[in-house]
Chain A
Amino acid sequence: MTVFDAPNSYIGRSIPRPNLSRLTQGRGTFVDDIELARMLHAAFLRSPHAHARIVKIDTGKAARLPGVVRVLTGTDIAAVFKPYVGVLTHLQGMRSPPQHPMPADVARCQGEPVAMVVAESRAQAEDAVEAIEVEWEELPAALDMERALEPGEPVIHPDFGNNLCWERNIDTGGVDAAFAAAHAVVEETFHFGRHTGVTLEPRALIADYSKAEEALTVYYSGQSPHMLQGTLASRLQVQEHKVRVVCKDVGGSFGIKIHTYGDEMATCAAAKILGRPIKFIADRQESFVADIHARDHRVTARLAVDKDGHILALEMDDLTGIGPFSMFPRSSGVECNQILNLTGGPYRIPQYRARGRVVFQNKAMMCQYRAVGHPIAVAVGEGLVDLAAAKIGMDPAEFRRRNLLPDDGYPCKSAAGMRFEGLSHQAALAKLLKLMDYDKLRAEQAALRKKGIYRGIGLASMIEVTNPSPMFYGVGGARIAAQDGCTLRLDAAAGLHCLTGVTEQGQGLEAVMTQIAATAVGVTLACVRMHTGDTDKTPYGGGTWASRATGIGGEAVLQAGIELKRRVLEIAARLLKTKPEELDLVESKIVKRGTSEQLMPLYELTRIVYYRTNELPDDIQPELVVTRHYRVKDYAFVFTNGVQASYLEVDTDTGFVRLLKHWCVEDCGRAINPKLVDEQCRGGIVQGIGGALYEHCIYDERGQLVTTTMADYLVPMPVEMPEMEIGHVETPTQTSALGAKGAGEAGTGGAPAAILNAINDALAPLGAKVNAQPSTPEVVLKALGKI
């Protein structure tokens, strides 16, 4: 019997999260809820132009307004904050120039901060921003990524000679021959619009610099506190151990709150200059123009198949515009890199050729956002698969069955070089088809078509990158931890403190870690207290991104728990004059192994260890604290797999898409809390649906973002969203004892493909198809030739 199938194990149980009561009572602590003594507020003047030289900034009038403490420009900030370069060396050839929190010479996108006001209140700071006078010399802007590399297009960084940030090529060598020999070839160009995170709590931080201690404390709404600590220490030249980053409640993050934003960095710099705490809370308009955007890819791709429907080769060309810089420290090349790594990943594809190009442009910066690259890779791969199935007259489910990697064929390697440890594509597809009653749904669809009702069924198989090793960032020189750690400490009254480097932003991490800790040590859930998001307290870790928290952070908890239990039983055996193997720790009680016979409550042992050490043998250390760190060694990433299906109806008169139902079967290895896995899937699916149907950052021809309110930028709301049914296959990873892989991003990664395929399935009898997301009514009506 293992720790997982013991009758008292909390692992695999859908236990409610321990930290929800305060949130349902309005007693959370988000950054804007924190008030510090003598705190000031920052507001920013942002470039109104896509590309313009700053000829002169006159801050005199603003500085004299009531409540204004200081007005700072890029030059002031640059004096204390070193520039940063957002390249990863393992993405060979990538380039991006040094970037400052606020530019002193040229603004390179609308919304880039160029001056800041620090005042007694936010309202006073905003008043003063209006009074700053800037003389601009507007420059020609490079906006369209399709033209970014053409001769004659404005070059954003003249020293580079052109607007190329990075290019990657993959070629297995036999692609042309495979296409020449193919029975059928399908080709499509896909367009994916820019969208953004729209975290309900905007980006927020308070920077508090003590000149007396030369120490900086930052209260931060973010997901990687140690990463920010390193950035601030190196850029602001404060000793790293004197930079403390504290994340309390985080109102959604999704990859938005993990980057180096000029306004946030300038706020920290200003705090160092002024020696007073400064709060910066982005408002919604600022969030739209200054949060990172994502996606914005154009992919041209083709697929070759033989007469039996077996895939022979895939070729694709990805182009993406990332704004004027590559984002520090994760770079803006990763989404493109992922698309090249992942497209067609669920299938056996003998030959593969891909080119990815990442170009600079005068729009908001793009970077990693939930499911980085996956929505595009999956939509392209699955879109081609459906086109190929249709072309050879095969049912799309059958086409997948023939081409998905076999469940008994692991470990194996994809054409792009990704190594898979153990996946379950075939089992997941079979489960999905059963869950949705595929054949019955097809019959219903056919019957309704005869009545002029156009419903579509869309399938999407996928792989997801989770539990990344240092191959993601660390090898490229970024100060981003791939390992993570946990300290478990039993206190005098037998309370178990669990300190972890991974962070909570609503996904339920504290519940999951509580379950692992309580199970591994053998205590009740109620006696576990979680500590996350504080660089002064928690072990050094990477935080929460790339679906790593449970798989990597959770394994560290498990290993710490196993060792702590061993120590407890060793001490108990000495006190009870028996052998450790005769004992067990169950539900905070020392029992005779294999029985529920209590020999000693745990609190009695902790009391002796801490207060009556005279009763301990001399060779026993009074030390009930263990730290363990864990890293993924054998694989670059621990992949998960899943499959989704969408059932929807297209109104061919209005172009509106009505979502009827969504299904998802996910294999994230061992599920610690199945309910929370389901909810990650559901929330992720809806976020994916947002990008598939509604969400779009639209720029006009002068590079002005026109979708800067929630009335213009549409997000999924309850009434349009479908009911979602979730199923599971469990293939625990052998790379850890816990066996858990990530589950945070698969929903978002797969939903857009399922929606795209379902719309095209609905439109197929009309001879129409869409190839652009968001698939708005306008896109659908254009496809139908109605507008």
Chain B
Amino acid sequence: MPERIGITLKVNGEEVRQEVPVRLNLADFLRQELALTGTHVGCEHGVCGACTLRVNGRIVRSCLMLAAQADGCDVQTIEGLAASGEIAALQNAFIEHNALQCGYCTPGMLFAAADYVAARRPPNREAVREHLSGNYCRCTGYQSIVDAVCEVAAQDATKGGHK
């Protein structure tokens, strides 16, 4: 098995071609090779959710995926998601409700929250808690995060209804 492998992928809409160690995970690739440090590493074994981001439109844990596996994929990090404007309402709600303290879980939490909102699910507290249950936050106690996500989900309801 070679120690390095060439990969071509899209990151936040831009094409990236790079040769990477085969053992490098996607989170470390984004952080160390592309300096996209908004993807945070919390446990490196897929439990804490801090490294959550989008690959081909679905949220994944970038610590459990090798960079080599992202070959040919469309990857979106928090930097790209924030710049896209898609989560402006969520970001504002997080700030308004103090749904973050240290902010280390926040990029991953926003991806999980955006996933809920994008699915046009209703502002149901139990359902939001269930949806965020793969994302660990040590600071807030979660209630303010649920408040923020429900507020945005409710705004969404007034715009077009829920699925």
9 nearest A-B pairs in the assembled complex, by CB-CB distance: A26-B38, A506-B102, A23-B103, A26-B78, A251-B104, A506-B101, A686-B141, A710-B47, A682-B141
Question: For residue B42, which residue of chain A has the nearest CB?
Answer: A200
CB of B27, distance to nearest CB on chain A (Å): 11
Interface stretch, picked from A171-179, A386-394, A542-550, A715-723, is: A715-723
8 Å CB interface, A246-291 against B? 249-254, 283-284
Instruction: Contact check, B103 vs A28: say whether CB atoms are below 8 A apart.
Output: yes
Query: Using Cβ atoms and an 8 Å threshold, which residues of chain B touch A26?
Result: 36-39, 77-79, 82, 106-107
Instruction: Contact check, B101 vs A24: say whether CB atoms are below 8 A apart.
Output: no
Instruction: Contact check, A249 vs B101: say whether CB atoms are below 8 A apart.
Output: no
A30 to B41: give the CA distance in the assembly, Å.
11
Query: Using Cβ atoms and an 8 Å threshold, which residues of chain A touch B125?
Result: 723
Q: Is A427 an interface residue (CB 8 A)?
A: no
Query: Using Cβ atoms and an 8 Å threshold, which residues of chain A touch B133?
Result: 717-719
Q: Which residue, B77, B104, B137, B138, has most C-beta atoms of chain A within 10 A?
A: B138
Among A201, A716, A721, contact of B104 (Cβ-Cβ < 8 Å): A201
CB of B111, distance to nearest CB on chain A (Å): 10
Query: Using Cβ atoms and an 8 Å threshold, which residues of chain B touch A35?
Result: 35
Question: For residue A682, which residue of chain B has the nearest CB?
Answer: B141
Query: Using Cβ atoms and an 8 Å threshold, which residues of chain A touch B142?
Result: 686, 716-718, 721
Instruction: Contact check, A21 vs B139: say whether CB atoms are below 8 A apart.
Output: no
Among B21, B40, B47, B95, contact of A123 (Cβ-Cβ < 8 Å): B21
Q: Is B129 an interface residue (CB 8 A)?
A: yes
Q: Is A2 an interface residue (CB 8 A)?
A: no
Please encode chain A, from 757 to 782, with 1 for each CB lying within 8 Å of some chain B CB and 0 for all others. 00000000000000000000000000
Instruction: Contact check, B78 vs A200: say whether CB atoms are below 8 A apart.
Output: no
A571 to B18: give the CA distance in the assembly, Å.
62
Instruction: Contact check, B39 vs A283: say whether CB atoms are below 8 A apart.
Output: no
Query: Using Cβ atoms and an 8 Å threshold, which residues of chain A touch B106?
Result: 23-24, 26
Query: Using Cβ atoms and an 8 Å threshold, which residues of chain B touch A17?
Result: 95, 98
Instruction: Contact check, A715 vs B40: say whether CB atoms are below 8 A apart.
Output: no
Instruction: Contact check, B107 vs A200: say whether CB atoms are below 8 A apart.
Output: no
Q: Is A479 an interface residue (CB 8 A)?
A: no
Q: Is A512 an interface residue (CB 8 A)?
A: no
- Interface size of A in residues (CB-CB distance below 8 Å): 54
Q: A251-B103, A685-B141 are in contact. Are A201 and B42 (CB under 8 A)?
A: yes
Q: A508-B98, A685-B141, A715-B136 are in contact. Are A284 and B42 (CB under 8 A)?
A: yes
A371 to B13: give the CA distance in the assembly, Å.
46
24 chain-A/chain-B pairs, Cβ below 8 angstroms = A16-B95, A20-B94, A20-B98, A24-B94, A25-B82, A27-B79, A28-B104, A33-B37, A197-B138, A200-B42, A200-B104, A201-B42, A251-B104, A506-B100, A508-B101, A676-B98, A683-B101, A685-B141, A686-B141, A686-B142, A709-B43, A709-B45, A716-B141, A718-B146
Q: Is A724 an interface residue (CB 8 A)?
A: yes
Q: Is A401 an interface residue (CB 8 A)?
A: no
CB of A433, distance to nearest CB on chain B (Å): 22
Q: Is A32 an interface residue (CB 8 A)?
A: yes
Q: Is B140 an interface residue (CB 8 A)?
A: yes
CB of B84, distance to nearest CB on chain A (Å): 11
A423 to B34: give the CA distance in the assembly, Å.
54
A35 to B32: give the CA distance in the assembly, Å.
9
Q: A508-B98, A721-B141, A747-B141 are in contact. List 15 more A-B contacts (CB 8 A).
A: A20-B95, A24-B95, A25-B38, A25-B78, A26-B79, A35-B35, A201-B42, A202-B42, A249-B102, A284-B42, A507-B101, A682-B140, A683-B140, A710-B45, A718-B129
Query: Using Cβ atoms and an 8 Å threshold, which residues of chain A touch B98?
Result: 16-17, 20, 508, 675-676, 679
Q: A30-B104, A251-B40, A710-B47 are in contact. Are A25 and B138 (CB under 8 A)?
A: no
Q: Is A198 an interface residue (CB 8 A)?
A: yes
8 Å CB interface, A714-737 against B? 715-719, 721, 723-724
Question: For residue B128, which residue of chain A has the nearest CB?
Answer: A718
Query: Using Cβ atoms and an 8 Å threshold, which residues of chain A touch B140?
Result: 679, 682-683, 686
Query: Using Cβ atoms and an 8 Å threshold, which residues of chain B touch A719?
Result: 126, 129-130, 132-133
8 Å CB interface, B82-105 against A? 82, 91, 94-96, 98, 100-105
Q: Is A199 an interface residue (CB 8 A)?
A: yes
Query: Using Cβ atoms and an 8 Å threshold, which residues of chain B touch A341?
Result: none
Please encode chain B, from 127 to 157, with 1 for each CB lying within 8 Å of some chain A CB and 0 for all others. 0111011111111111111100000000000
A685 to B38: give the CA distance in the assembly, Å.
28
Among A25, A30, A200, A718, contact of B48 (Cβ-Cβ < 8 Å): A200
A26 to B129: give the CA distance in the assembly, Å.
23
CB of A95, distance to nearest CB on chain B (Å): 34
